[in-house]
């Protein structure tokens, strides 16, 4: 039996996938590695990178795929592109078995790896696009139209004749994203698309991804360590740890799964002993200001009403839980269970 936690929508996504556009059914990937154990001795052992993984992603969904280092995210993406063959289980992307029909699948997917470029390093940016035009056999009119649109949306006009190696990281990333979308893929895999970018470039890339998803209905699977990417782009998030799915659902539900707390910051008229409120506890006091923690799933209204009726309030505000802390707690719980 699976122990996947599902989100608020109550949809259990750990069972056998239905007609999901991306369907992963009890997939495993085991690597055999040799470890040096002495001068001439080597021992073989197995690394189970992905372990009985099942999920589906519907057409047009934009889903975050997160987990700690070594959790199995890249291995999953590599299997979904056909670079790696699963050791067991079944995979389908747009009805295609990635490992068996890798080149047919290539016409349906786009891939962006934040850590490395798919562009030709020494050539002007436009040359990589011309190569993609031929490689994917994109009809001329479609190519022109897509190129014009991507150049405009990603502000690449002044960069087309610049060799890729001379581009800044943010410019290169925008160039990579355009390259991944020139052939109108149905599915876009993004692996750390905002890594190393400054705040302005991050905002620009996120805005563009939102538009592509909304306008073209592109299905997006986004792997990132930047949780703001997820918060700003994905309504659904899947969390993987030790090759297994440990959470699948709405981002908001993660807080409950991680048993997180919201904080009510209360300003009183004067310094007082810690206030007494049912189902909330004072976690900090600084002069007339007090911090109260209460469960994230609970409404703040009864806490506020209780305070207002009994204490001299000047001001208050609610702070949402820090999602990074929530996820860290989830990982820690899984590690000990
Ligand atoms: N080619 C390989 N040979 C042997 N072991 C591998 C190979 N590729 C990945 N692994 C192992 O499989 C596990 C999962 O790795 P994977 O790269 O999928 O994790 P990840 O979640 O993408 O991590 P990160 O966030 O660090 O990129 C790790 O223990 C890793 O060492």
Decide: 224 and 230 in contact? Cβ < 8 Å: yes
Shared domain for 244 and 268, answered yes or no, is: no
DSSP one-letter string for 183-244: T--SEEEEESTTTT--HHHHHHHHHHHHHHHHHH--EEEEE-S-HHHHHHH-SEEEEEETTE
| Ligand 1 atom at minimum distance from 67 CA | 21
Mean pLDDT, residues 70-96 taken together? 94
Answer yes or no: is the C-beta of 70 below 6 A from any ligand 1 atom. Answer: yes
Instruction: Say what the pTM is.
Output: 0.76
Q: Is residue 146 part of a domain?
A: yes
pLDDT reported for residue 256 = 66
Residue numbers of the domain that contains 269: 261-320
pLDDT reported for residue 157 = 94
Shared domain for 207 and 272, answered yes or no, is: no
Q: Is residue 301 part of a domain?
A: yes
Answer yes or no: is the C-beta of 33 below 6 A from any ligand 1 atom. Answer: yes
Residue 74 belongs to domain with CATH number: 3.40.50.300
Decide: 192 and 111 in contact? Cβ < 8 Å: no
Q: How far is the CA of 110 from the centre of ligand 1 (A)?
A: 21
Q: How far is the CA of 78 from the centre of ligand 1 (A)?
A: 11
Shared domain for 44 and 120, answered yes or no, is: yes
Q: What is the pLDDT of residues 275-298, one digit of tens each?
A: 999 989 999 999 999 999 988 778
Q: Whose CA is nearest to atom 2 of ligand 1?
A: 31
Q: Whose CA is nearest to atom 28 of ligand 1?
A: 70
Answer yes or no: is the C-beta of 86 below 6 A from any ligand 1 atom. Answer: no
Q: Whose CA is nearest to atom 5 of ligand 1?
A: 31
Answer yes or no: is the C-beta of 73 below 6 A from any ligand 1 atom. Answer: yes
Shared domain for 205 and 281, answered yes or no, is: no
Shared domain for 285 and 191, answered yes or no, is: no
Last-in-domain residue among 235, 254, 273: 254
- Rounded to 5 degrees, φ, ψ at 123 are -100, 155
Shared domain for 209 and 266, answered yes or no, is: no
Q: Is residue 334 part of a domain?
A: no
Q: What is the ipTM of this complex?
A: 0.97
Q: Is residue 11 part of a domain?
A: no
Number of domains forming the structure of the chain? 2
Q: Which residues of 224-241 are buried (b: 16+ CB within 10 A; e: fewer)?
A: bbbbebbeebbebbbbbb
| Ligand 1 atom at minimum distance from 75 CA | 18
Q: What is the pLDDT of residues 118-132, one digit of tens each?
A: 899 999 999 999 999
Shared domain for 135 and 231, answered yes or no, is: yes
Last-in-domain residue among 233, 254, 275: 254
Shared domain for 196 and 301, answered yes or no, is: no
Answer yes or no: is the C-beta of 308 below 6 A from any ligand 1 atom. Answer: no
């Amino acid at each position: 039996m699976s122990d996947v936690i599902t989100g608020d929508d109550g949809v259990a996504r750990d069972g056998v996938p239905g007609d999901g556009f991306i369907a992963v059914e009890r997939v495993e990937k085991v690597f055999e590695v040799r470890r040096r154990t002495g001068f001439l001795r080597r021992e073989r052992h197995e690394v189970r990178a992905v372990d009985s993984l099942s999920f589906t992603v519907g057409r047009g969904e934009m889903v975050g795929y997160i987990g700690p280092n070594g959790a199995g995210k890249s291995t999953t993406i590599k299997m979904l592109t056909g670079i790696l063959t699963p050791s067991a289980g079944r995979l389908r992307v747009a009805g295609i078995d990635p490992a068996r029909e890798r080149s047919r699948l290539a016409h349906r997917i786009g891939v962006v790896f934040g850590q490395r470029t798919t562009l030709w390093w020494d050539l002007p940016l436009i040359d990589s696009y011309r190569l993609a035009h031929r490689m994917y056999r994109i009809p001329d009119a479609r190519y022109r139209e897509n190129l014009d649109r991507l150049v405009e949306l990603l502000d690449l006009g002044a960069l087309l004749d610049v060799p890729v190696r001379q581009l800044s990281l943010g410019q290169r990333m925008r160039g990579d994203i355009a390259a991944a979308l020139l052939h109108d893929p149905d599915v876009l895999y993004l692996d750390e698309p905002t890594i190393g970018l400054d705040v302005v470039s991050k905002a620009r890339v996120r805005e563009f991804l939102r538009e592509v998803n909304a306008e073209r209905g592109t299905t997006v699977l986004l792997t990132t360590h930047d949780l703001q990417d997820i918060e700003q782009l994905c309504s659904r998030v899947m969390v993987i740890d030790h090759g297994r799915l440990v959470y699948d659902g709405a981002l908001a539900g993660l807080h409950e799964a991680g048993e997180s707390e919201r904080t009510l910051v209360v300003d009183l008229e004067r310094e007082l002993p810690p206030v007494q409120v049912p189902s909330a506890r004072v976690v900090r006091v600084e002069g007339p200001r007090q911090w109260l923690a209460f469960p994230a799933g609970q409404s703040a209204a009864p806490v506020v009403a209780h305070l207002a009726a009994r204490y001299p309030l000047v001001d208050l505000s609610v702070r949402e839980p820090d999602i990074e802390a929530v996820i860290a707690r989830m990982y820690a719980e899984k590690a000990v269970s």
